Structure 1
Amino acid sequence: MQLPDSKDDFLGPTGPVATEVVDKERSMYRVHFPVAGSYYWPNTGLRFVVRQPVTIEIEFCVWDQFLNKSALQHSWMPAGPLFDIKAHPGAVVAVHLPHFVALQGDHVDVDLFQVAHFRKEGIVLEKPAKVEPHYIVLENPSFSPIGVLRKICAALYIPVSSNVLLYHHLHREEVAFHLYLIPDDCSIRKAIDDEEKKFQFVRIRKPPPLSPLYMGSLYTVSGPEKMEIIPPELKLCYRSPGKSQLFSELYIGHLGSGIRLKMKDKKDKTVWEALIKSGDLRPAATPVPPDLTDAPTLPHFLDRHREQLVARVTSVDAVLDKLYGRLLSDEQYERVRAESTKPDQMRKLLSFSKSWGWACKDQFYRALKETHPHLIMELLEKQELKEATRALHKLSS
């Protein structure tokens, strides 16, 4: 086990309480509360009120794994993270579960919210004791995979608290950004952080939208005239942390004295704005270990694993369908299809990527990840092991 950064501490009556990382891959944590009282985890929004010292285990889960098997998915939507919590029975007086629904007015219709428990015998819905602006309260709770659901109302856009995540990657010829618009859900944010780190993209911390945005609505991204933005619109929607998230790619030759990014709604009202200066991109702000500072110059995933991709990608048609119209022209699409074997098709497809920039190769990678998740995960694990071995060798020498 290892201790995460202090930003993952709980805040309790005796001060910060560190969490232990039990299983990094499963995002499983353990924390021991030494005395009775209230403990708050700022990174997630979770709060526990305990009547005695207790050890609690918390695992981040994925709604799709449970909700897709139920008819509830058509009448209820996830309204916050899903946690699998384990604690000694009776030790927890109350739990505050985070949600991202923006409450309207003083009166709150508690019937619009339920807490879903996923148990062996099936799904159990529990009415919360209280619904507060950023969390719901369960008193004397029992635990299982548990999270907040919000009732879906026909023809109604649900206002939500949202977050804009901005990542950058400096190249020799251009500055590249990835921009996400997501509900304010810590599990989605964590999944995006983990994904972007694999390609040495670093998050630039900027304030979230100040006003609630609407689930299902489109928002237009704009920047300087010379900035290329693909796509120029983002839809605010809930996508499970286990799925690839929607984002816009932004490219500009150089920052100059700074650039201003905006996001507007359909009425042309600015809902988010940020100023990015060269100081935001300083290497000192990049959480890349010192022994991996040469990581951005490493070849892209496609180039590193070309041989394995040629030999082991079996559903080339599925990959082509995801790239057609975005990276591939009609002629390129047909040239790949004309090859007689799957390896030859992949060779032809990868030959086009030689002229692509880093961001285009990222799109190719994401298509592969969606169509061949097990293969990509295996190659990533081998890549991480190699890099860790290389880092240890540098330290030892």
Structure 2
Amino acid sequence: MNAEKVERNIIETQQNLNRDIRKINEGKQPLYQKDITRTILDSLELLNALGEDAAEASRLQHPHSDMIEKDVSSSAGQHECSETSLRWESASDVSLEYRFVEWKSLSKDILKNYKPCGPLIDISVTNGTLREVQLPHFVCVDSVSSSDDAVKVLHVKDGTVSFERCELSGSHAKILNPTFSCVAIVVEAQRYNNMKFQCETLIYRNRKASLNLHVYLIVKDQKLKKCLFVKMRQHFVHPGAEFVDKHRTQLIRKVSLVEPIADDMKDLIGDEKYGMISMSVTKEEKMRTLLNFLTTPKLKDKLYQSLVEHEYHVIEYLNDSG
């Protein structure tokens, strides 16, 4: 979302700069200096978090992100994975691998008498020994004793299922001298409905409908939150791409400076496609050919930025005409 807002700020700044340049050329005072300063300062603040957003988006775009194993080597001491919230402690150097596992991969009989209270994680130690591991959970500890037998650690290894007691803190369950397999925190099914759980409220706005909000109340589970984020990303539309798709026919008719726009796009579309645009006879043919090559939101956003630079009056006309 930060990247999308920065992009909108850039487009807005370009538009206001072009308006002020026209005012100056007409011998008039510029009108948008305060707006330009505001959007630039806003963008600088957003850019502080943009690196994290880009890294998260890149990771989530991987088609098999759930199956990517984390291979970690750590020194003696206490450590926590920022992605899974898994914690561990060792007296010396240690190496381990871990990944989220789908609950549906387990037999239904395993969960007949228990309900999940956290993610199912497959963990293996490849070098060294762990003193303790802490598994994330979403149980409200004030609704259950920290040593209550209702909450247990589920172990699944080589088809064998076992349960053991654990010590609960506000967000984790501690296991001392652990042996590893698929592990998770579970609670007895008959106690489940009487317990309280930590939850998060996630709100997404669909840009296609300005008053359409998607509100989700979910338990505090990193894997569930990630799956929801992946799903909701499909609802967001790039503003430049949306404009190009909406006004495609009018752009073919009204854009005159196709050559400099094609020059801006050359590095993205390649020499062969650029040559095909140049060989087209009329400006309408050139623009139609260019648009046919723009198959991704990124390419359409770049075209929109070029239109702001070279054909701003066309953008203004189309925006005003709806």
Superposition TM-score, scaled by structure 2 size: 0.53
Contact 1:22–1:29, Cα closer than 8 Å, also in 2: no
User: Which residue matches 2:12?
Assistant: none
Equivalent in the alignment of 2:213: 177
> Which structure 2 residues correspond to residues 376-395 of structure 1 after superposition, within 5 A?
387=296
Structure 2 CA distance, aligned partners of 1:81 and 1:97?
8
CA distance in 2, matches of 1:106, 1:154: 10
**Other-structure match for 1:151:** 188
Give me the whole-angstrom Cα distance separating, in 2, the residues matched to 1:298 and 1:74.
53
Letter matched to residue 240 of structure 2: D
List alignment gaps of at least 5 residues for structure 1.
10-18, 202-291, 300-385
In structure 1, C-alpha distance between the alignment counterparts of 2:207 and 2:297, rounded to whole Å: 23
Alpha-carbon spacing, 1:43–1:298, altered in 2? closer, same or farther (3 Å): farther
1:295, 1:191 → 2: CA distance? Answer: 25
Tell me which of 90, 96, 118 is aligned to 1:50.
Answer: 90
The DSSP-based 3-state class of the residue aligned with 1:52 is: coil
* 1:114-133 CA distance string (max 9 Å, x none): 111222232222222x2212
Give 1:8 deviation, angstroms: 12
Matches within 5 A, 1:92-171: 92-104=130-142, 107-128=145-166, 130-153=167-190, 156-171=193-208
- Name the amino acid aligned to 2:177: N
Higher helix proportion (structure 1 or 2)? 2
Q: What is the alpha-carbon distance in structure 2 between the residues aligned to residue 293 and residue 177 of structure 1? A: 18
Q: Tell me the distance in 2 between the aligned counterparts of 1:192 and 1:166.
A: 11
Aligned residues: 203
CA distance in 2: counterparts of 1:24 and 1:161, whole angstroms: 28
With over 3 angstroms needed to count, the CA separation of the structure-2 counterparts of 1:182 and 1:389, relative to structure 1, is closer
Map 1:288-327; keep pairs closer than 5 Å: 294-296=240-242
- Correspondence list, 1:17-56, <5 A: 24-56=64-96
Higher strand share: 1
CA distance in 2 between partners of 1:151 and 1:298 (Å): 55
CA RMSD, Structure 1 to Structure 2 (Å): 3.8
Tell me how far 1:175 sits from its aligned partner: 2.6
Q: Give ranges in structure 2 of 5+ residues lacking alignment.
A: 1-50, 246-294, 307-322
For residues 2-46 of structure 1, the C-alpha deviation after alignment (integer angstroms, 9 at most, x for no partner) is: xxx65999xxxxxxxxx9x99853342424334211112344321
Secondary structure at 1:170 match in 2: coil
Higher relative contact order (Cα pairs below 8 Å, separated by 6+ residues): 2
Give the SS at the match of 1:192: helix
Equivalences for residues 1-397 of structure 1 within 5 A: 24-66=64-106, 69-88=107-126, 90-104=128-142, 107-128=145-166, 130-153=167-190, 156-171=193-208, 174-200=210-236, 294-296=240-242, 387=296
Partners of 1:22 and 1:32 lie apart in 2 by 20
Secondary structure of the residue aligned to 1:85 is: strand
Sequence identity (%): 20
**Which 4+ runs in 1 deviate beyond 4 A?**
5-9, 21-24, 295-299, 388-391
Given that 1:80 and 1:148 are in contact with CA atoms closer than 8 Å, whether structure 2 keeps it comes out as yes
Counterpart Cα distance in 1 of 2:75 and 2:109? 42
- Mapped partners of 2:297, 2:182: distance in 1: 33
Shift of 1:87: 1.9
TM-score scaled by length of structure 1: 0.44
2:275 corresponds to = none
Contact 1:200 1:295 in 2 (8 A): no
Q: After superposition, give the CA deviation of every residue in 1:331-358 in whole Å (9 maximum; x if it has no partner).
A: xxxxxxxxxxxxxxxxxxxxxxxxxxxx
- State the distance in 1 between where 2:54 and 2:190 align: 36
Whichever residue aligns with residue 113 of structure 2, its letter is S
CA contact 2:204–2:214 (8 Å) conserved in 1:
yes
2 CA distance for matches of 1:155 and 1:63?
A: 17
Matched residue SS, 2:98: strand
1:107 and 1:127, CA in 2 relative to 1: closer, same or farther beyond 3 A? Answer: closer
Question: 2: CA distance between counterparts of 1:106 and 1:73?
Answer: 20
Larger Rg: 2
Q: Which amino acid aligns with 1:150?
A: V
| Distance change (3 Å), C-alpha of 1:63 and 1:106 | closer
